[in-house]
């Protein structure tokens, strides 16, 4: 039996009612639990328990100082973590929660230092996933959770991805099916008295945020260390990723060591081809699984990706593809 198979056999996977009680009990005891969300699977621990959160960093191999998002059962739990009276917090929460938006605000000292990387702010989010919200409600606290992959790798969008990446290093994997959005949340920072700033594009568009706030936002993570842990290279498979224009694809499609990922309607004729939906939303949902599938094919060294052409999620898809294609090391 391979190392991987042996590791996978040790993994505990639960779903439904059984998962709710088991996950809440493990979280209370300082355990590490992989939870489904609508974006990607998270690797969760009690956000007020520094030892538990440190186990998450160890399991992922994530450097300390990269802050984690705290997941809440509903918007009323914000006041447990922040005394901010910024009206933009409730406006955004009302419009987009539960959903793929993380709001960064000043915290009240309750998050464990390892959650915030000793910053004065914390990222908060109510995920749009029934099973995980039931776990959060039963647990009663906040769950600090980065994506449930090894540091720098592709985020998991199924329980099987989590098992393959983290194996026996988690106490429990809650299987909530494949993630519906498929890319990590939009992150917006609210610094009182300053315009809102988008630190990471995701499932909630910049336009939608501006409409709710009635004011322009700063679109991008510029400024002094505004987005700790946002490295240029990220979300990376083993193979080299290149982003192709529909126009220059001919040079790549006949190369046996290349897998092409493309929108379905392009009718690309590559030998090794993974077709994704044409709209950015469907493309985003299936992209990470496609990158994993491509990476697992034998004898390949390159994944050539043709992005979708339209849709609200296009900026998020392009952001993740650029990070996957960025030089490593």
* Structure token digits, residue 59: 């399991």
Among 92, 187, 276, 291, binds ligand TXA (CB under 6 A): 187
Q: Which is nearer to ligand TXA, 166 or 260 (CB)?
A: 166
Using rule CB under 6 A, residue 114 touches ligand TXA? no
Q: Binding ligand TXA by CB under 6 A: which of 103, 159, 227, 287?
A: 227
Query: With binding defined as CB under 6 A, does residue 258 bind ligand TXA?
Result: no
Is residue 229 involved in binding ligand TXA (CB under 6 A)?
Answer: yes
Q: CA 242 → CA 55, 248, 259, 260, 322, distances in Å?
A: 34, 11, 10, 10, 9
Give min distance, CB of 121 to ligand TXA, in A: 4
- Within 85-143, residue ranges assigned H as helices are 87-96, 113-116, 130-139
Which residue lies nearer to ligand TXA by CB, 187 or 304?
A: 187
Asked if 116 is part of the footprint of Mg ion (rule: CB under 5 A), the reply reads no
Nearby residues of 101 by Cβ (< 8 Å), 6 or more positions away: 92, 125, 185, 186, 188, 202, 203, 204, 209
Q: Is 109 exposed, middle or buried (0-12, 13-18, 19+ CB in 10 A)?
A: exposed
Q: Which does 185 bind (CB under 5 to 8 A by kind): Mg ion, ligand TXA, none?
A: ligand TXA
Bridge partner residues of 278 (DSSP): none
The Cα–Cα gap between 294 and 28 comes to: 38
Let me know: does 203 contact 185? Beta carbons within 8 Å. Answer: yes
How would you list the strands of the sheet with 258-263, edge to edge? 240-243, 302-305, 258-263, 273-276
Q: Is residue 40 near ligand TXA by the rule CB under 6 A?
A: yes
Q: According to CB under 6 A, which one of 98, 146, 156, 263 is a site residue for ligand TXA?
A: 146
147 binds Mg ion (CB under 5 A): yes
Please, what is the minimum distance in Å from the beta carbon of residue 278 to ligand TXA? 24
Q: Which residues are near Mg ion by CB under 5 A?
A: 147
Q: Which residues are near ligand TXA by CB under 6 A?
A: 37, 39-40, 42, 66-69, 100, 102, 104, 116, 119, 121-123, 125, 127, 145-147, 184-185, 187, 199, 227-230
């Amino acid at each position: 039996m391979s190392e991987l198979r042996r590791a996978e056999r040790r993994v505990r996977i639960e779903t439904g009612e059984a998962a709710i009680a088991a996950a809440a009990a493990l979280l209370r005891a300082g355990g590490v639990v992989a939870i489904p969300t609508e974006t990607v699977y998270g690797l969760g621990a009690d956000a007020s328990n520094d030892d538990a959160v440190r186990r998450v960093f160890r399991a992922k191999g994530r450097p300390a100082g990269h802050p984690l998002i705290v997941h809440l059962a509903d918007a009323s739990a914000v006041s447990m973590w922040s005394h901010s009276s910024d009206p933009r917090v409730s406006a955004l929460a009302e419009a987009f929660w539960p959903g793929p938006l993380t709001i960064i605000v000043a915290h009240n000292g309750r998050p464990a230092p390892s959650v915030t990387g000793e910053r004065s702010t914390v990222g908060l989010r109510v995920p749009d996933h029934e099973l995980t919200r039931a776990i959060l409600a039963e647990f009663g606290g906040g769950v600090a959770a980065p994506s449930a992959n090894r540091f720098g790798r592709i985020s998991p969008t199924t329980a099987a991805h989590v098992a393959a990446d983290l194996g026996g290093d988690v106490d429990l994997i809650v299987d909530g099916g494949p993630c519906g959005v498929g890319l990590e949340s939009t992150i917006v920072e609210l610094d009182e008295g300053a315009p809102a700033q988008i630190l990471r594009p995701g499932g909630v568009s910049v336009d939608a945020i501006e409409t709710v706030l009635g004011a322009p936002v700063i679109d991008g993570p510029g400024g002094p260390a505004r987005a700790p842990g946002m490295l240029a290279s990220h979300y990376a498979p083993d193979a080299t990723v290149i982003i192709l224009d529909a126009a220059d694809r001919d040079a790549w499609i006949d190369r046996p060591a290349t897998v092409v990922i493309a929108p379905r309607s392009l009718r690309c004729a590559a030998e090794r081809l993974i077709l994704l939906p044409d709209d950015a939303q469907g493309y985003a949902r299936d992209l990470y699984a496609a990158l994993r599938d491509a990476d697992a094919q034998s004898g390949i060294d390159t994944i050539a990706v043709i992005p979708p052409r339209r849709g609200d999620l296009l900026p998020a898809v392009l952001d993740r593809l650029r990070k996957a294609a960025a030089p490593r090391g």
